[in-house]
């Protein structure tokens, strides 16, 4: 693998990397991507309702450990998968089993699928499909749980309290509706 990547660096060196190498940690674009990724992921964690629900529902002693272990796993698994399959796609560029990738294919995220297919055949392509399905269903599940709890606690609970909190809820509803209608007429 190292020999193939060294040969690929001589054919088409990476601008901004030390010596144009694919196997260096000195990369200007890599540093920029890392900073953007860290800032973006902090924003994701602070704005995602599912993270807050898990943090509030957990015991404080276990929450810190769980978030640290989860953060390490979150970083290690995608980083390792993307690095090994991305570099495999570069190393196998001249292999007959490897499909020719256009810049549009690379932008669409197909090097990992192409590399796994070239390395493992149909089983590799099936494994990537299963991996993609699991990632999408996991993310969808987490967001559906977050949205449903927001609707339950912030909408349904408030409306239920409004309706059952007073014997004359219809008067309050009428008053609020008439205030809105008057405000609408003025604008």
Total domain count for the chain? Answer: 1
Domain contains 14: no
Tokens 């690379």: give the residue. 106
Tokens 């704005």 sit at which residue?
47
Residue 65 in any domain: the answer is yes
Please give the average per-residue pLDDT across 101-128, as a whole number: 92
Residue 28 inside a domain? The answer is no
Q: Is residue 20 part of a domain?
A: no
Range 163-167 average pLDDT: 58
Structure confidence at residue 38 as a pLDDT band (50, 70, 90): confident
The answer to whether 115 touches 83, Cβ cutoff 8 Å, is: no
Domain containing 166 equals: 48-186
113 closest CA partner among 93, 94, 132, 141: 132
> What does residue 99 show for φ and ψ, rounded to 5 degrees?
-75, 145
Q: Which of 96 and 167 is assigned the larger pLDDT? A: 96
- pLDDT 10s digits, 48-80: 666 777 777 778 778 778 777 877 777 778 888
Tokens coding 17: 């990397």
């Amino acid at each position: 693998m190292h020999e193939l990547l060294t040969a690929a660096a001589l054919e088409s060196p990476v601008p901004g990397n030390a010596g144009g190498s694919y196997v260096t940690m000195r990369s200007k674009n890599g540093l920029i991507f890392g900073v953007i990724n860290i800032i973006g992921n902090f924003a994701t964690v602070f704005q995602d309702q599912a993270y807050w629900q898990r943090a509030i529902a957990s015991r404080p002693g276990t929450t810190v450990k769980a978030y640290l272990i989860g953060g390490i796993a979150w970083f290690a698994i995608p980083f390792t998968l993307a690095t090994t399959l991305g570099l495999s796609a570069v190393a196998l560029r001249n292999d007959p089993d490897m499909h020719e990738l256009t810049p549009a294919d690379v932008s669409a995220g197909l090097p990992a699928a192409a590399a796994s297919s070239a390395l493992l055949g149909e089983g590799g392509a099936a494994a990537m499909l299963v991996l993609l399905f699991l990632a999408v269903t996991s993310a969808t599940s987490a967001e559906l749980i977050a949205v449903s709890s927001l609707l339950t606690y912030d909408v349904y609970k408030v409306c239920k309290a409004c309706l059952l909190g007073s014997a004359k809820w219809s008067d309050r509803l009428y008053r609020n509706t008439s205030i809105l209608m008057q405000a609408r007429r003025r604008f």
